[in-house]
Chains A and B, each alone.
Chain A
Amino acid sequence: MMPTSHSDRLLRLLVEFFDLPADTRPENISQQLLPSWDSLAMVQLITELEGRFLVNFDIEEIQRLRSYDEIRDALRRKGVSLGVQATSRV
C-alpha cells in the first residue's frame, strides 16, 4: 500500500553511508548490528538525513534513531512524502 521508492532511497542512503553491501536488508541496519554506527557516525548521519530530506528531528526522535525502521518511521511522521514524486533536495 505504501509506495516504497522513498524507503528505498533511505535504504540506499544508509547502505552508502555505512559502506554496506548493496543487497543489505533493512532489518540488518541498526546500531546494534553495525560496529561503525558509533556516536560520531550518529552525528554525521543526523546532519545527512536532515540535509537530504529537509527535516529537523526533535530530541525524543533523535534518541530513537537507531535502525532503518526507526528512521523510516520518523521520516514518515515528519510528513516526508513517501510518494513516487518525492524530491530529496532542491
Chain B
Amino acid sequence: MRSDCNLAMHERGLASLNLVLQWIHSFPDVQKSAVMEAFDSASLAKTRRALRLLEELGPDQRGPVFEVEMLSTFNLEPLLPVLQLALNCLPSQARLRLAALDSIEAHIAHPATSGSHVVCNARIIIWRIEEALPEALYPFSHGFPQGLSARVDQLLERVERVVALHKRNSPGIPLFLSTMALPVNFANPVSAAQHPAGPFAAVARVNQKIYELAAPGDGIYVLDLASWAASRGSVYTDATVDFLARQPLTAKGQVGFALFIARCLRALVVPRRKVLALDLDNTLWGGVVGEDGVNGLKLGHEFPGNVHLRIQRELLELRHRGVLLVLLSKNNEADARQAFESLPDMLLKWDDFAARKINWNHKHENLREVARELGLGLDSFAFLDDSDYEREQMRQAIPEVLILNESSDALQTLRALWETDAFDAFFVTQEDRRRNEDYALRGARSTEARQDDLETFLKSLEMRATIEEIGLPNMERVVTMLGKTNQFNLTTRRHSRAQVQAMLELPGSIPLALRLRDKFGDQGIIALLLAVPSGDNGTLVVDSFLVSCRALGRGVEDALWAAMLRRANRQNVRRLEAEYIPTAKNAIVANLYDRFGLQRVEHNSGSTRYVSEQVSLADFPPWIAVKDDANKP
C-alpha cells in the first residue's frame, strides 16, 4: 500500500522534474545531474551536495540574487535545504530567511526587532488550518455551528489585518499568501461536508477571502497550497513527523512542496514566453493533411480526434491569455487552408495565428523570420512539434527556443501544455488579450538556407541508410507507400502489388527501397525508387520515386538516387528517362530532376519529361552512412 502510494507520487512528481530540467538547462552537466538526483531521491545529503555544487557556478550562470522571507504556522526549518535548492533552480541565487515559528504579525509589525527590515524580493506567508483554525477539526467541541462561524470571522479579520500590516510596513515587497489545505488527519469527513458552516465550508470561506485579497497589480499574490494539496498533498503527509516537529511532509512531499513554491515565485524572476510556434499535422489534428487528405484527418469528439480537439482548446485559451500563436508547417498552404476551412470541428481559425509559415523551408528559418517580423527575441518563443527531427533541429539551430514537448504522441503534447510553466504570469491584462489582433500576418518569405549549419545538424542525426531491393519481405510496406505518399512523389502512380511484382520480374529493372535509422530509432522504409528498362537500347525509365513525408529535408532522395545510378552504371545503362507529373500535392519535387542534372525535353501542364544521355555516378550525401551491398542477381 505504502509503496503503491510512493509509486504514484513518483510518477506524478515527474512533471515537476521536467520543469526543473527546463529551468536548469543552462547549468553544466555536473550540477544538472546533482540537482536531478537530489530531487529524485529526496535525500538531504544529495540536496546539500547539489547546493554545494551550485555555489561553484558563476553569478551569470546562477541568475539574479533573490531574497525570500518565509513566515509560517508550521515548522519549515527542516525544509530549508530543499526549498533553497528549488529556488536556486529558477535559476536564482536564492537567499532564504525563516521568521520565528508563529510570529507572522509580530514579524511584520516590528521589523526592526525581528530582522525583517532587510529588503527582500518576496515574503511568503504559509498557514494551515491545524494552527490557524484548529476549531474546524473539532466543530462539535466548539459550539458548532455558531461558535465555529464566529471563529472563522475572526480568522478572516486576521488575514485582512496581516495584509494591511504588510502593505503599511513593507510596501513594494511582493507578498505571497498561501491558501489553506483541507486537514488530512481528520475524523469526520462525512458530516463535515453537510453544513454551510461546517469545517469544509469554513476552510472554503477562509480561502475565498484569500483569493479576494489577491491584487497582483499591487504585489499581493496567492500561493495556492490548497490546490497543490488537493492534487498531491494527502499522500505527502506524515503524522509522525508532524507530532514530532510540527512539520507535516514526507521526504517526497518536501520536494513537491518546494518545487511548487519555486514555480509560484518563478514568474517574479523569469518572464513568460510570448509566442508558441506550433506544427499542424499530428498536432492540431491527427494525420497528415498532405497525405491523408482532409477527410482522413482525425479531429472531433471521438478518440483520438478528441485529444487533438483538447489540444486546440488549450491553444485557444493560451491565445486569449495573450500568447501569440504561430504556425510552422511543412505543407502546401492550400492543403492546410482547406483543412482549416472544411474540418467541422476546427476550433482554431486561420486568423487566430499571428503568423503562418506554411512552406518547405526549415522551421528554424521560418521561426527566425517570424521573430524579425514580430520584433520579438528568440527567447520569447516556445515550440511544439510532433516530429523528433523538427524538435532536434530547432534545439540545435536556436537553443534559446524552449521545446515544450518531447514525444510524437498527441497525449504527451497535451500533457506538455497542461504542465508547462512557460506561460505562467500572475495576471492577464486587456492588452495581453488583444495582443494577437495587434500582430498582422506578413507574407511568407524564405531566407537562404545556411548550408554549413544544415550539414552540421544533419550529421548530428547520425543517419544510417540501408539500400534494399524491393521483394517479398518489404512488399507490403512498398505497396502501402505507393498508395499513400502524395507530397514527395514524382509520378504518384498507385501501383498494385501485382504491378510491382511484374516490374520486379523485368530483366534489368532497378527496384530499390531505403531504410533509415537515426539517433531517434528505426524509421523503417521511407523512400522508394522503381526503374524499369525500356526497349533494347540501354534505356532505363524511372517509373516511381517517392519519399515518406516524415523523412523530408534530410537528403535521403540523394542517397537513393546515387544507389540507383551505381546499379545503372554496372548494368551499362546508357540513357536515363524520368518524369515529373504535377498534382495538387507534389509541388515540393517540381524541380528535383533539374537539381539532379537531367535535361528537360518536354514540358506541359500534365508532365515534365527528363532525359540524361549518360549515367554519371553521384556521391552519397556525406551526412548519411549508406550501406549498399545488395547485388541484384
Chain A residues close to B by CB (< 8 Å): 13, 16-17, 19, 39-40, 42-44, 46-48, 50-52, 54-57, 59, 62, 89-90
Q: Which of A16, A48, A51, A56 contacts B240 (CB 8 A)?
A: A56
**Cβ proximity bits B227-255 to A, threshold 8 Å, 1 near / 0 not:** 00000000000101100110101111010
CB distance from B233 to the nearest CB of A (A): 16
Q: In the assembled complex, which residues on chain A have CB atoms less than 8 Å from the CB atom of B44?
A: 17, 44, 48
Q: Are B42 and A17 in contact (CB under 8 A)?
A: no
CB distance from A42 to the nearest CB of B (A): 8
Q: A43-B247, A90-B3, A90-B6 are in contact. Are A50 and B238 (CB under 8 A)?
A: yes
Q: A44-B78, A89-B6, A90-B6 are in contact. Are A50 and B45 (CB under 8 A)?
A: no
CB distance from B537 to the nearest CB of A (A): 72
Q: Are A54 and B6 in contact (CB under 8 A)?
A: yes
**A44→B45 CA distance, assembly (Å):** 10
Q: Does B7 contact A (CB under 8 A)?
A: yes
How many A-B residue contacts, CB cutoff 8 Å?
Answer: 65
**A71→B3 CA distance, assembly (Å):** 20
**A89→B3 CA distance, assembly (Å):** 8
Q: Give the interface size class of chain B.
A: 20 to 34
Q: Are B252 and A43 in contact (CB under 8 A)?
A: no
**A30→B254 CA distance, assembly (Å):** 26
**A42→B247 CA distance, assembly (Å):** 12
Q: Are A46 and B7 in contact (CB under 8 A)?
A: no
Q: Are A46 and B241 in contact (CB under 8 A)?
A: yes
**A13→B241 CA distance, assembly (Å):** 19
Q: In the assembled complex, which residues on chain B have CB atoms less than 8 Å from the CB atom of A46?
A: 240-241, 244
Q: In the assembled complex, which residues on chain A have CB atoms less than 8 Å from the CB atom of B42?
A: 48, 51
**A46→B3 CA distance, assembly (Å):** 17
Q: Are B7 and A90 in contact (CB under 8 A)?
A: yes
Chain B residues close to A by CB (< 8 Å): 2-3, 6-7, 10, 41-46, 48, 77-78, 238, 240-241, 244-245, 247, 249-252, 254
CB distance from A4 to the nearest CB of B (A): 21
**A62→B242 CA distance, assembly (Å):** 13
Q: Are A47 and B238 in contact (CB under 8 A)?
A: yes
- Closest A residue by C-beta to B81: A44
Q: Are B244 and A62 in contact (CB under 8 A)?
A: yes
Centre residue among B2, B78, B250, B254 by max chain A CB count within 10 A:
B78
Q: A50-B250, A51-B42 are in contact. Are A43 and B3 (CB under 8 A)?
A: no
CB distance from B504 to the nearest CB of A (A): 54
Q: Are A48 and B43 in contact (CB under 8 A)?
A: yes
- Closest B residue by C-beta to A63: B244
CB distance from A74 to the nearest CB of B (A): 13
Q: In the assembled complex, which residues on chain B have CB atoms less than 8 Å from the CB atom of A52?
A: 43, 251
Q: In the assembled complex, which residues on chain B have CB atoms less than 8 Å from the CB atom of A54?
A: 2-3, 6
Q: Are B77 and A40 in contact (CB under 8 A)?
A: yes
Q: In the assembled complex, which residues on chain A have CB atoms less than 8 Å from the CB atom of B7?
A: 90
CB distance from B603 to the nearest CB of A (A): 67
Q: Are A47 and B3 in contact (CB under 8 A)?
A: no
- Closest A residue by C-beta to B244: A43
**A17→B251 CA distance, assembly (Å):** 14
Q: A40-B78, A56-B240 are in contact. Are A47 and B250 (CB under 8 A)?
A: yes
Q: Which of B2, B41, B43, B241 contacts A43 (CB 8 A)?
A: B241
- Closest A residue by C-beta to B4: A90
Q: Are A47 and B78 in contact (CB under 8 A)?
A: yes
CB distance from A88 to the nearest CB of B (A): 9
Q: A40-B78, A90-B3 are in contact. Are A51 and B250 (CB under 8 A)?
A: yes
**A59→B239 CA distance, assembly (Å):** 11
**A43→B248 CA distance, assembly (Å):** 11
- Closest A residue by C-beta to B45: A16
**A66→B568 CA distance, assembly (Å):** 83
**A54→B252 CA distance, assembly (Å):** 11
Q: In the assembled complex, which residues on chain A have CB atoms less than 8 Å from the CB atom of B43?
A: 13, 16-17, 48, 52
Q: In the assembled complex, which residues on chain B have CB atoms less than 8 Å from the CB atom of A43?
A: 78, 241, 244-245, 247
Q: Which of A44, A51, A62 contacts B252 (CB 8 A)?
A: A51
18 A-B pairs besides A17-B45, A40-B245, A48-B44 with CB distance below 8 A are A13-B45, A17-B43, A43-B247, A46-B241, A47-B78, A47-B241, A47-B254, A48-B42, A48-B43, A50-B240, A51-B252, A55-B2, A56-B238, A56-B240, A57-B240, A59-B240, A89-B41, A90-B7
Q: In the assembled complex, which residues on chain A have CB atoms less than 8 Å from the CB atom of B249?
A: 47
**A52→B6 CA distance, assembly (Å):** 11
CB distance from A29 to the nearest CB of B (A): 14
CB distance from B348 to the nearest CB of A (A): 41
- Closest B residue by C-beta to A90: B7
**A62→B78 CA distance, assembly (Å):** 17
CB distance from B250 to the nearest CB of A (A): 6
Centre residue among A40, A47, A56, A57 by max chain B CB count within 10 A:
A47
What are 26 A-B pairs with beta-carbon distances under 8 A? A13-B45, A16-B43, A17-B43, A19-B45, A40-B77, A43-B244, A44-B44, A46-B240, A47-B78, A47-B238, A47-B251, A47-B254, A48-B42, A48-B251, A50-B250, A51-B250, A51-B251, A54-B3, A54-B6, A56-B240, A62-B240, A62-B244, A90-B3, A90-B6, A90-B7, A90-B10
- Closest B residue by C-beta to A51: B251
Q: In the assembled complex, which residues on chain A have CB atoms less than 8 Å from the CB atom of B247?
A: 43, 47
**A48→B238 CA distance, assembly (Å):** 12
Q: In the assembled complex, which residues on chain A have CB atoms less than 8 Å from the CB atom of B46?
A: 16
**A55→B240 CA distance, assembly (Å):** 11
**A81→B2 CA distance, assembly (Å):** 15
Centre residue among B241, B252, B254 by max chain A CB count within 10 A:
B241
